[in-house]
């Protein structure tokens, strides 16, 4: 992240049209913009995008007929407040015509995920799902966790709801099917069995403790179990255990017994198992007080692979059916749909969505709302889980709000903070210094707004925490001030613009049969708080004592920052938790009572900042470890670097080499040899 002050380049002259576009529109003017596109739109399927004055997407929608769908937004009678705000904010539109409505639906889902429009229901958690992979590109297949594109050869089993579920399943599988989980590089370099062999979770094929046929049989058994043929596998193992016992080979019998127990442990951990149902996803939604939760259960080969809750955004005026429909498109734009998806609520255009999923999967996909039988029980269970998850989230949000209110009282803040920024630094003897900022608010940690700052100043004394903090805060708040000044200039220019005539607005309102001219003209868009201003914190918390707080106060004074509360948190003499002292400008240092929830809350904030900055520091240090002085020499790429290191053995030896020796390396010309020599010997 680069936030260093730079000279502002001269701004290009802004056109009258651009100035007019930035001014807040009335709903009548927005409808006039939309109506202007009607004449040129085809009566064909496609996707439309409504854009605001900054070019940001307000809404993405699909249509069977672009011409008919778009003109519907100009009929202002009977539309809700959300649509009115959306129409009023529309300054321009973009269109993409498709061959079929299914193509339009698929494109709509992709654009919603990419653009995240303000007025679409958004799936916020877009992490990929983990799978279990039995590799197929090795003579001795490996069992491992896989996430991301399925490019590697092998058999994939999943998806699983979480990485924890995959790890637990693999651990249990290795007790039943002792396959290797080490990387190919480690496997090739082994000369004796590792610990996994000693604890009977691997058969040590790396050193020949099992032959190829025996290992392949275990691979096939593991694949059969993950494919749903668990009862057959357990029956086979039971017979082998009995045969070994009858032959008085008790050690082998114990091995088979332990493997049977491991399989039973996996099945008991999975809860509901439905061998006859095959591959099914169960999707259920619950809405309460304008908030929504969608619960997804994964069943593969009749086995329960877990569940995951989602909390879509922008659901204040939506129904459960709306939420499920929006969720289906966005969720399956990246996840592969199974053969059947069970829904808690019927959705509009269910057949169209099913057709889109068929196109995505390349096979038949059924969307169903079950009304009887075991499938109804699955959906009811998913709905109950969605309701419980939403209630937990709302309770946690209420608790978080209470903590913020108590924090405001403890620090004597004028208002309850909605955004808290916590700062910390990390380095080792001044090297690879990194600063970091975390953000928290009523919804908890806002990890997408975390920032790290690589310390760039060359004038710092190594290990000077105060100077590092000064650089971080200066870069952060200088940038915020710059953005605020630009926003204020734009607002001032907009105020001086001549508003369009009332006659134009009246004509537009009549054209689309607006119910009341005064209401249409005066119903301005309720725009969100300016994005740059919304990033201003209400409270800045520094990890440190009075000295760090003094640095922050000085930075704020130098930059002219006002309206942001400052505080620092210092560990006790023995760095024990629970006896921290807090520093606030103009007050004596104080402690919070032991056991105070606010104290624990502040400790968690500090620890989260510490965790984040340590990770950033380690990542930078690891990157630097792999770097070489040769990387900084112009004209030296990976190939020439490799040639130099192969010839001289190290960068230090390259630095001591003569020009003639450098020229003898393949790919190094006399000019480049001279450049390398002068890099290491600038005085020569």
Instruction: For residue 648, give both structure tokens.
Output: 């001289």
Helical segments of 419-464, H only: none
Pairing type for strands 340-343 and 280-288 reads parallel
- Over residues 651-661, the pLDDT tens digits come to 788 888 888 88
Rounded mean pLDDT of 510-537? 41
Task: Indicate if the pLDDT at residue 409 is higher than 70.
Answer: yes
Q: May I ask the CATH class of domain 629-680?
A: mainly alpha
Share of the chain above pLDDT 70, in %: 83
Among 469, 403, 465, 406, smallest CA distance to 437 is for 469
Can you tell me the distance from the alpha carbon of 677 to that of 671, in angstroms, rounded to the nearest whole number?
Answer: 10
Rounded mean pLDDT of 265-289? 73
The strand pairing partners of 295, in sequence order, are 284, 309
Could you please state the CATH topology (level 3) that the domain comprising 280-394 is classified under: Nucleotidyltransferase; domain 5 (3.30.420)
pTM for the full predicted model: 0.62
- Over residues 62-113, the pLDDT tens digits come to 999 998 888 888 887 777 788 888 998 899 999 999 989 989 998 998 899 8
Rounded mean pLDDT of 452-457? 83
Instruction: For residue 553, give both structure tokens.
Output: 């106060």
Rounded mean pLDDT of 209-215? 90
Distance in angstroms between the alpha carbons of the first and the last residue of the chain: 37
Share of the chain above pLDDT 90, in %: 23
Identify which has the larger pLDDT, 278 or 298.
298
**Fold matches, 280-394 and 420-623:** yes
**Quick one: pLDDT band at residue 314, thresholds 50, 70, 90?**
confident
Rounded mean pLDDT of 547-561? 91
Task: Indicate if the pLDDT at residue 552 is higher than 60.
Answer: yes
Can you tell me the distance from the alpha carbon of 107 to that of 93, in angstroms, rounded to the nearest whole number?
Answer: 16
Instruction: For residue 114, give both structure tokens.
Output: 């990419």
108 burial (CB, 10 Å; 0-12 / 13-18 / 19+) is buried
Task: Indicate if the pLDDT at residue 4 is higher than 80.
Answer: no
Task: Indicate if the pLDDT at residue 515 is higher than 70.
Answer: no
Task: Indicate if the pLDDT at residue 178 is higher than 60.
Answer: yes
Sheet-wide strand order for 366-368: 303-310, 291-300, 280-288, 340-343, 366-368
pLDDT of residue 392: 85
pLDDT of residue 379: 93
pLDDT of residue 553: 93
Task: Indicate if the pLDDT at residue 230 is higher than 80.
Answer: no
**CB-based contacts of 144, cutoff 8 Å, min separation 6:** 132, 133, 135, 170, 181
Residue identified by tokens 């400790």 is 603
pLDDT of residue 605: 92
**CB-based contacts of 304, cutoff 8 Å, min separation 6:** 270, 271, 272, 273, 274, 297, 298
- Over residues 467-478, the pLDDT tens digits come to 889 999 999 999
Task: Indicate if the pLDDT at residue 549 is higher than 80.
Answer: yes
Residue identified by tokens 């039943």 is 176
Tell whether domain 420-623 is in CATH 3.30.420.340: yes
Can you tell me the distance from the alpha carbon of 190 to that of 270, in angstroms, rounded to the nearest whole number?
Answer: 35
Contact 280, 374 (CB under 8 A): no
* Average pLDDT value for the chain: 80
The strand pairing partners of 541, in sequence order, are 422, 567
Residue ranges per structural domain of the chain? 16-115, 130-269, 280-394, 420-623, 629-680
Tell whether domain 16-115 is in CATH 3.40.1440.10: yes
Task: Indicate if the pLDDT at residue 421 is higher than 90.
Answer: yes
pLDDT of residue 429: 61
Sheet-wide strand order for 46-51: 57-63, 46-51, 92-97
**Quick one: pLDDT band at residue 268, thresholds 50, 70, 90?**
low
Rounded mean pLDDT of 533-545? 83
Contact 222, 201 (CB under 8 A): no
């Amino acid at each position: 992240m680069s936030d260093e002050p730079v000279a502002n380049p001269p701004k290009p002259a802004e056109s009258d049209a651009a100035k007019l576009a930035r001014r807040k529109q009335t709903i009548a003017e927005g409808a006039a913009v939309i109506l202007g596109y009607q004449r040129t739109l085809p009566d064909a399927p496609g996707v439309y995008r409504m854009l605001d004055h900054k070019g940001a997407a307000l809404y993405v929608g699909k249509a069977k007929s672009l011409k008919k769908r778009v003109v519907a937004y100009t009929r202002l009678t009977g539309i809700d407040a959300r649509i009115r705000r959306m129409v009023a904010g529309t300054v321009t539109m973009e269109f993409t015509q498709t061959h079929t409505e299914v193509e339009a639906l698929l494109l709509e889902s992709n654009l919603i995920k990419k653009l995240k429009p303000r007025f679409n229901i958004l799936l916020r958690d877009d992490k990929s799902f983990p799978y279990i992979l039995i590799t197929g590109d090795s003579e001795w297949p490996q069992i491992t966790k896989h996430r991301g594109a399925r490019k590697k050869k092998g058999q994939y089993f999943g998806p699983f709801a979480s990485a924890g579920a995959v790890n637990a399943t693999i651990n249990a599988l290795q007790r039943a099917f002792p396959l290797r989980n080490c990387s190919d590089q480690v496997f090739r370099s082994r000369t004796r069995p590792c610990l996994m062999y000693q604890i009977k979770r691997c058969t040590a094929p790396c050193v020949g403790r099992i032959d190829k046929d025996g290992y392949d049989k275990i691979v096939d058994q593991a694949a059969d179990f993950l494919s749903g043929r668990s009862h057959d596998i357990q029956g086979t193992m039971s017979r082998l255990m009995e045969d070994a016992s009858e032959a008085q080979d008790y050690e082998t019998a114990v091995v088979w017994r332990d493997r049977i127990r491991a399989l039973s442990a996996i099945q008991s951990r999975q809860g509901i198992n439905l061998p006859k149902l095959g591959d099914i996803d169960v999707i259920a939604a619950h809405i309460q007080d304008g908030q929504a939760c969608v619960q997804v259960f994964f069943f593969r080969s009749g086995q329960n692979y877990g569940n995951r809750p989602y909390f879509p955004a922008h659901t204040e005026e939506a129904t459960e059916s709306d939420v499920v429909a929006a969720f289906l498109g966005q969720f399956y734009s990246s996840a592969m749909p199974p053969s059947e998806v069970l829904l808690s609520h019927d959705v509009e255009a269910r057949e169209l969505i099913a057709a889109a999923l068929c196109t995505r999967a390349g096979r038949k996909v059924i969307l169903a709302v079950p009304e009887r039988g075991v499938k109804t029980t699955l959906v009811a269970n998913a709905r109950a889980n969605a309701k419980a998850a939403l209630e937990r989230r709302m309770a946690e949000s209420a608790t978080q709000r209470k903590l913020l209110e108590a924090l405001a009282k403890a620090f004597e803040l004028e208002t309850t903070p909605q955004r808290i920024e916590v700062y910390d630094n990390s380095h080792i003897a001044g090297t690879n210094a990194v600063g970091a900022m975390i953000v928290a608010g009523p919804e908890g940690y806002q990890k997408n707004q975390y920032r790290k700052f690589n310390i760039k100043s060359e004038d710092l004394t190594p290990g000077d925490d105060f100077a590092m903090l000064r650089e971080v805060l200066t870069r952060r708040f200088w940038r915020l001030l710059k953005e605020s000044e630009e926003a204020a200039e734009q607002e001032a220019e907009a105020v001086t613009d001549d508003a369009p005539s009332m006659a134009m607005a009246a004509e537009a309102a009549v054209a689309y049969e607006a119910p009341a001219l005064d209401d249409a003209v005066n119903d301005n868009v309720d725009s969100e708080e300016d994005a740059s201003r919304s990033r201003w914190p209400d409270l800045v918390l520094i990890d440190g004592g009075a000295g760090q707080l003094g640095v922050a106060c000085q930075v704020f004074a130098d930059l002219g920052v006002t309206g942001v509360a400052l505080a620092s948190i210092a560990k006790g003499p023995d760095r024990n938790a629970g006896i921290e002292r807090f520093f606030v400008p103009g007050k004596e240092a104080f402690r919070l009572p032991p056991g105070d929830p606010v104290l624990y809350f502040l400790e968690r904030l500090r620890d989260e900042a510490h965790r984040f900055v340590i990770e950033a520091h380690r990542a930078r240090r690891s990157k630097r470890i792999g770097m070489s002085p040769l990387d900084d020499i112009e004209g030296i790429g990976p190939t020439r670097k490799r040639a130099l290191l192969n010839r001289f053995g190290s960068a230090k030896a390259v630095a001591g080499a003569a020009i003639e020796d450098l020229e003898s390396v393949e790919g190094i010309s006399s000019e480049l040899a001279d450049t390398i020599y002068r890099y290491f010997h600038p005085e020569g």
